[in-house]
Structure 1
Amino acid sequence: MAKVYKAIISASDKFVPNAFRPLWEHPAGPKTIFFWAPAFKWGLVIAGLGDINRPADKLSISQCSSLAATGLVWSRYSLVIIPKNWSLFSVNVFVAATNIYQLARAYQYQKSLEQQKK
């Protein structure tokens, strides 16, 4: 697979405009996994945004907690590695934010159930 990927990148190299060369040649650019991993991780953000319409009683607190914690940890990590990976930072901030929001919804739902019991 690495040979196929390198062949695709080499073939694409000549079509990249000069304006995009700095991004293309960046140590965390599209030629590396440091670009593609965060790009695909946006799927977690999209899933979290899709869950906004989900009823609060159907939210998984353990899943939202682990995703929020992971987002926070990897946000920090992305700023201490060299090269700094701003795309990894941004996707993880959004992963953490969407799941913290879901946790807040689940918490409010649990509180409302307690108040109804009283």
Structure 2
Amino acid sequence: MATRIYKGVVSVADKFVPNKLRPLWEHPAGPKTIFFWAPAFKWALVMASLDDYRRPLEKVSTTQSATLAATGLIWTRYCLVITPINYSLALCNFLLGMANAVQCYRAYSFQNKIKRIA
């Protein structure tokens, strides 16, 4: 049922897409496919990771940050070997990996500093 609704929405929107945007619209990783929508929603993880920079470092989980960093970097590689190559998803995953790698380093450094003081 959801597929039918989605195809109906796409067919209606198809009539309103300007000629200049047609190549993007018709692209194998364009808005008509999951290849477009996956990174569109995955950016929320990147934004949440960046928002975590405001949290006190004693509340940051190094395990969570390391896991998100690893998965972001692993999936970046995958996005570059699938067909069609999904640069948008690769960029999203890369930034997720980098944001969490930096956060992991910050939390790890903070925890080591606390241990040295104690």
TM-score normalised by L of structure 1: 0.97
Distance across 2 between alignment mates of 1:86 and 1:55: 33
Q: Deviations over 1:34-69 (max 9, x none)?
A: 100110000001101111110111011111111111
Distance across 1 between alignment mates of 2:105 and 2:44: 21
Distance across 1 between alignment mates of 2:74 and 2:93: 8
**CA displacement at 1:29 relative to structure 2:** 0.4
Matches of residues 2-21 of structure 1 in structure 2 within 5 Å?
Answer: 2-21=3-22
Q: Deviations over 1:54-101 (max 9, x none)?
A: 011101111111111110110000000011000110100110011001
Name structure 2 gaps, 5 residues minimum: none
Task: Look up the match of 1:60.
Answer: 61
Name structure 1 gaps, 5 residues minimum: none
Distance across 2 between alignment mates of 1:102 and 1:74: 19
Greater CA drift, 90-99 or 57-66: 57-66
**CA displacement at 1:33 relative to structure 2:** 0.5
TM-score normalised by L of structure 2: 0.97
**What root-mean-square deviation, in Å, do the aligned CA atoms of Structure 1 and Structure 2 show?**
0.7
Task: Look up the match of 1:100.
Answer: 101
Q: Which runs of 4+ in 1 moved over 2 A?
A: none
